[in-house]
Structure 1
Amino acid sequence: MSGIADTITAEVIHNRLARIGHEGGLVLQRCAVSPTVVEAKDLGFNVSDAEGRTIVYSTWMPRHGTTLSYMLASCRETFAGDIRPGDMYMVNDPHAGALHSLDVAVIAPVFAEGVLAGWVGNAIHHIDIGAMSPGRAPLATDAHQEGITIRGLKLVREGVIDPQVFALFSDNVRMPRHQDMDLRAQISANHSAAEKLRALIGKYGLDAYRAACATSLDLAERAARERIAALPDGHYAYRETLDYDREYALVATLDVRGGALRFDLTGTDPQSATFVNSAAPCTVANMHNILACQLFPDLEVNEGTFRAVDITLPPGTVLSAEFPAPCSGASTLAGWKAQQLVLGLLTQAVLGSPQEFRAQAQWGWAFTEASWSGRDARGRWFSMKGDSTMHGGGARRHTDGIDVANIAGSTNTALPSVESYELRYPVLYLSRGLVPDSEGAGEFRGGLAGEWSRCLFGVAECDELTFYIGRDHGAAGAAGGLPGRPASVEVKRGTDVAALLRDHVPDFDELAGETELLPQQPRSLAGRLGAADVLRVRGMGGGGFGPPGARERDAVLGDVAEGLVSPERAARVYGVE
């Protein structure tokens, strides 16, 4: 009977730990001020045991679950012998675990009954980190140009914020009026979670808590191995292309055998002189992310899950760049392509098996960043990006892809509202919506991409810095499905937008002026944008699954009736008139 009682207690404790991790993210959202955190939910929150093993893997953006594990390990090594109640540490070094330098983590030890009992930690995307250009640094040629790098600093000492460390951060970022509040929100979220963790341990006792942590890890590993064992044994290979300043080849193989997955990324191109690189932790985190979403979506995922996964990642490649190679674009460039490698390999592994329902085409993976910065009408410096990930979801074995999703592994993120941007920044959105005919055609079609257009409002000009990937390659289809429409960033300069706005909100195509397709790599550190210039950004459609000719006629006609697919495309691609 005691064994059953212990098992029930362990489950109760684990469920409460999971809730503490989720509540920590909620506190972070409600205390922060930047749209990236508050509305887009670009954050992660972990709960770990005293040894630093992740018990609660981020329920927000899953890949932060792995990067926070790396950064916690770095903190434990850096501050060994100097870990005290009330301390908190700040990290953003990609080689210490951050997805890229803009993802700042705040990590806290939790003491109970006089001993170190566990850890809580969170990471959010900060809009700036003091690089050579606002936000990411697309023209960087080494890591020193990508802003302040923190391998580990004690931000809070025994419950008190260190003013010098806080000032070091605040003095090196371009929008401290927002970012100071976001950093304080990270501290507050840890305080909230740590208090709840101590209360949980006080209720059940330290021994029961430790046993529950061990049980959670073991059960997660067992469930993962059982799921993998349901896949047919085999060897699979996949190749991806990353387009930016040139095309980079990314390759991977997968061996499924004995309840384990073994990935090998040998053969990927050497690291780049541009910022597209990914440090090894970012690559591993993105690979774990897809496994969590595609293979283990219904399982409890924590560090035990990934005991069943082995990744060979030779150093010095685009997916395992070594310092001082630049990698501020890693999170959304090479890192996202690592997701596509896993997605393609797993889909091969499940096709023709009882697990085939897990097969899916590629999701849109482009990244389209349009950074505008300058002085607003009140003379305050501003920097804004916009919606960089309005992509279609990949079609699955038995269903269409999601329209205007994010990348495949960002399960809980969202788009900030247009009104939120317009409230904070001197801009006006002319449109935001679906791109008809952007789907990857198939028996089940990929999701449609989204698009937006905007201009300045209330100011005469600003600096602009635009870069993107995904112009030359779309999201691949599967099992005979076609690729989704690639991404694009276009501008019309010197338009009549001000005159047209007196009567209505104009469409991009009706504006006067020639449409210019912008290059993927920026020409200079900062171009200029005037009040009469209008930018349009289009995301990438999701890949289709199965041959387009097999799509049900009524499904095609339904898409035509809703304006998602044109009659011409229906006839030409699907054979439906």
Structure 2
Amino acid sequence: MGLFASRVAAICEEMGALLGRVALSPNIRDRKDYSCALFDRHGGLLGQATHIPVHLGSMAQAMTALAASRTWSDGDVLVLNDPFNGGTHLPDITLVAPVFADDELCGFSANRAHHADIGADAPGSMPVSTRLEEEGVLIPPSLLFRAGERQAATWRALPGGGARGAGGDFDAQLGACQLGVGRLRALVMEAGLAAFQARVDALNDYAERVARAALADIPAGEYTFSDVLDDDGAGTRAITIAVRIRAGEGGVEVDFDGTSAQVSGNLNCPLAVTAAAVVYVLRCLMPAQVPSCAGAFRAVRLVAPEGSVVNARAPAAVAAGNVETSTRIVDVVCGALAQALPGRIPAASQGSMNNLAMGRAGADGWDYYETLAGGHGAGPGWDGLSARHSHMTNTLNTPVEVLERHYPLRVRRYAQRQGSGGGGQWHGGDGLVREYEFLDDAQLSIISERRLHAPWGLAGGQPGQPGENRLDGEQLPGKTSRGVRRGQVLTVCTPGGGGYGPE
């Protein structure tokens, strides 16, 4: 099983290498804001690359329904970004292609990439929004290619479709999808269709056995925890995320009853994003040899009240749910598990992706988006890492040289935020400081968390310092959108991680 799982994962890694190498935008090429995976004929996860947890977990949650939603033909390519129909938030565009061998459907190749321009009025397409329609162009599952023929109407409806510079990124995604199709078809043909399907079934059964054994380490019982999001940018503060984990012989149930109702702002999560965060945490409890396939999560049951911030109803605004709420879900699941597994769970990491979107509309306009790293939580026996992305994101910061070459921005400071990690026997990691000077007038949007409520320490450790956003030294809210002038300076100080154990 190990060899088969490794061959599938290697295909996904190769898909990612191609996508990152061919893409044109710094957001995809340099920040690596993309993910690749393969699925079986029923849409069950078969394997994935070591890319972005929120992308991969949400794709795995949605693919079963997408696979059953139509009659597929060889050469089809489906495109979508609808958060309530297989997507996460609008900037994440997904391509799905079926894999046929001997005229039989045997799997799917898919990838998801974040596009900085998805047609929102706000540059960077991450506005402080209150309606889904404000966040950009909604793409329901649509055929971009039908039996190998490009569908011109669908292509024209895509944001950019080449006209605003996104064509190269779409072509990179298409190339990665087709690479996955070819490699998986070859794997199927090598084994034979019946033998390949038998290996898929055996892989899932093996993953289930090993995963159940790992989850059985959680003592039987109920474990609760809650935390809050700072605010939704539309007037609602201290938004509660509550969880109750029930562990027993049947597996693990993760119940979000008691979580706040969906909000006016854009912190709402589609259920697939919530599932991605839960799966990520539980996967971290499993040994490395557990294959990343559908069978690994048969023992996990998710309960999320419909209409809550973790299972929002359409057409709720969701731009920040994918990036900020997903991260807080990780915190509360970890907080509950820390009671069940003392000595295995670290303190809270920075708890935000510190989303920055900048740009200017018009024929000579530009769009820039990135997330910023921060401090990791410390654990029993280790200090938290400093100035690193954590949990639901696995991207890079945009390199200074790339940023300054492509955009009218100057990075005046880029440094570790010394002393921002929480104290304790083991110290939380430090956040970072990144300072931007605007070389032209622009529009700025910030969506950030942990500005009011600090990342918590554990086992007597101290909390990390909350983050700060400042424009010319003036404090900014955690979520804001405003015009900026040439010469102004934005400073973002990201949160530190919580400490572990008393000093």
For the criterion TM > 0.5, the same-fold answer is yes
Q: How does 1:137-156 map to 2 (within 5 A)?
A: 137-156=126-145
Q: Residue deviations 1:114-149, cap 9 Å, x none?
A: 111111101011112112423445442222222221
Residue aligned with 1:469, SS: coil
Partner of 1:534: 489
Structure 1 residues 37 and 166 mapped into 2: Cα distance closer, same or farther (>3 Å)? same
State the alpha-carbon separation in 1 of the partners of residues 299 and 447 from structure 2: 37
Q: How does 1:212-251 map to 2 (within 5 A)?
A: 212-244=199-231, 245=233, 246-251=237-242
Equivalent position to 2:37, from 30, 46, 62: 46
Partner of 1:187: 174
State the alpha-carbon separation in 2 of the partners of residues 42 and 220 from structure 1: 28
Q: How does 1:378-389 map to 2 (within 5 A)?
A: 380-386=364-370, 388-389=371-372
Contact 2:93 2:112 in 1 (8 A): yes
Partner of 2:360: 374
Partner of 2:350: 364
Equivalent position to 2:414, from 432, 441, 448: 432
State the alpha-carbon separation in 1 of the partners of residues 375 and 139 from structure 2: 35
Q: Residue deviations 1:465-499, cap 9 Å, x none?
A: 3332211111111101111110110011xxxxxxx
Contact 1:87 1:108 in 2 (8 A): yes
1:483 aligns with 2:441: no
Contact 2:119 2:159 in 1 (8 A): no
Counterpart of 1:41, as a letter, is K
Q: In structure 2, list runs of 5 or more residues that go unmatched.
A: none
Partner of 1:446: 428
Q: Structure 1 residue 455: deviation in Å?
A: 0.7
Q: Structure 1 residue 176: deviation in Å?
A: 4.7
Q: How does 1:529-568 map to 2 (within 5 A)?
A: 529-547=484-502, 549=503
Q: CA RMSD in A?
A: 1.9
TM-score, L = length of structure 2? 0.95
Counterpart of 2:396, as a letter, is A
State the alpha-carbon separation in 1 of the partners of residues 68 and 194 from structure 2: 25
Contact 1:290 1:409 in 2 (8 A): no
State the alpha-carbon separation in 1 of the partners of residues 297 and 375 from structure 2: 28
Q: Residue deviations 1:214-271, cap 9 Å, x none?
A: 1111111111100011222221110110012411111101111116111110010111
Contact 2:372 2:494 in 1 (8 A): yes
Q: Residue deviations 1:414-437, cap 9 Å, x none?
A: 222111111111111011110011
State the alpha-carbon separation in 2 of the partners of residues 296 and 477 from structure 1: 25
Residue aligned with 2:100, SS: strand
Q: Residue deviations 1:261-300, cap 9 Å, x none?
A: 1111001011101111111111111111222234455532
Max radius of gyration: which structure?
Answer: 1
Partner of 1:115: 104
Contact 2:326 2:392 in 1 (8 A): no
State the alpha-carbon separation in 1 of the partners of residues 285 and 434 from structure 2: 29
Q: Structure 1 residue 381: deviation in Å?
A: 1.0
State the alpha-carbon separation in 2 of the partners of residues 41 and 65 from structure 1: 14
TM-score, L = length of structure 1? 0.83
1:308 aligns with 2:299: yes
Contact 1:490 1:518 in 2 (8 A): yes
Structure 1 residues 437 and 11 mapped into 2: Cα distance closer, same or farther (>3 Å)? closer
Partner of 1:469: 449
Q: In structure 1, list runs of 5 or more residues that go unmatched.
A: 1-9, 493-514, 550-577
State the alpha-carbon separation in 1 of the partners of residues 285 and 215 from structure 2: 12
Counterpart of 2:345, as a letter, is A
Structure 1 residues 202 and 66 mapped into 2: Cα distance closer, same or farther (>3 Å)? same
Residue aligned with 1:372, SS: strand
Partner of 1:418: 400
Q: Structure 1 residue 531: deviation in Å?
A: 2.0
Partner of 1:502: none
Residue aligned with 1:95, SS: coil
State the alpha-carbon separation in 1 of the partners of residues 34 and 361 from structure 2: 28
Equivalent position to 2:271, from 267, 280, 294: 280
Counterpart of 1:394, as a letter, is G
Equivalent position to 2:374, from 386, 391, 394: 391
Residue aligned with 2:97, SS: strand
Equivalent position to 1:75, from 66, 86, 93: 66
State the alpha-carbon separation in 2 of the partners of residues 337 and 201 from structure 1: 40
Partner of 1:4: none
State the alpha-carbon separation in 2 of the partners of residues 400 and 297 from structure 1: 22
State the alpha-carbon separation in 1 of the partners of residues 126 and 29 from structure 2: 24
Q: Structure 1 residue 31: deviation in Å?
A: 1.2
Residue aligned with 2:110, SS: strand
1:319 aligns with 2:310: yes
Partner of 1:501: none
Partner of 2:245: 254
With 366-375 and 254-263 compared, the bigger mean Cα shift is at: 366-375
1:329 aligns with 2:326: no
Equivalent position to 1:34, from 17, 25, 46: 25
Aligned length: 499
